[in-house]
Chains A and B, each alone.
Chain A
Amino acid sequence: RKEVEQDPGPFNVPEGATVAFNCTYSNSASQSFFWYRQDCRKEPKLLMSVYSSGNEDGRFTAQLNRASQYISLLIRDSKLSDSATYLCVVMTYNQGGKLIFGQGTELSVKP
């Protein structure tokens, strides 16, 4: 079983749609969680950290369920510029603080 698993993609949605990505992690000792965005042939960039209480940044909402070891990202009112690959990232301090990436979910927003 992979340490971090994400929904298989690609997701093809029209502009204005709401889209949700899911991610599960296997190590219950994991302590920090993030969503990164990666554009084609570019480096990953931090989209948002994920906190236990859930957090929102504009059109983006991230949630964490520690009991189910599950993280989600919701994008409302999708824009063409949201087209990218979204990577779920999990950190576990007892493994020396390494960050493990999920395989990513590709999103394509169409006009």
Chain B
Amino acid sequence: DAMVIQNPRYQVTQFGKPVTLSCSQTLNHNVMYWYQQKSSQAPKLLFHYYDKDFNNEADTPDNFQSRRPNTSFCFLDIRSPGLGDTAMYLCATSRDVRQGRNGANVLTFGAGSRLTVL
């Protein structure tokens, strides 16, 4: 059974048309991450939530926003997608990274949302 579920799996949008990607988890994990992965590149961390505490990466464009209304759900909003935002967007969760407990910082990924901007 899928434990981190991302929707939609595939999204095609027009340049400048807002997009929202969703992620839900049944693991009750504290931490939720959004990564962007472009073709043949490493996943790049955009931001993460530790509970409700939002942590933005310094180089994440303002065009990318996130919401976490509750423990189970997290959203990625792209306000005005550009052609360069075509990528796979990966949501991941982990239990409690800051405590360093064994296994707590292992990431569980969703299957990803593949976004194409035309």
A interface residues, Cβ below 8 angstroms from B: 4, 31-32, 34, 36, 41-46, 49, 87, 89, 91, 93, 96-104
Contact = CB atoms under 8 A, between A and B. Distances in A.
B107 interface: yes
Contacts of B98: 93, 96-97
A29 B103 CA distance: 19
Contacts of A89: 107
B106 A45 contact: no
Interface residues of B, number: 27
A36 B31 CA distance: 19
A100 to B, nearest CB: 7
B110 interface: yes
Contact of B50 (A96, A100, A101): A96
A89 B109 CA distance: 14
Interface in B91-118: 94, 97-98, 100, 103, 105-107, 109-112, 114
Given A43-B90, A43-B109, A32 B43 contact: no
B111 A43 contact: yes
Interface in B36-61: 41-45, 48, 50, 55, 57
Given A96-B48, A97-B50, A100-B45, A43 B110 contact: yes
Contact of B55 (A4, A34, A98): A98
B106 A101 contact: no
B108 to A, nearest CB: 8
B28 to A, nearest CB: 17
B106 A104 contact: no
A99 B48 CA distance: 10
B43 A101 contact: yes
A44 B106 contact: no
B41 A103 contact: yes
Contact of A93 (B43, B100, B107): B100
Contacts of B48: 96, 98
Nearest to B110: A43
B105 A91 contact: yes
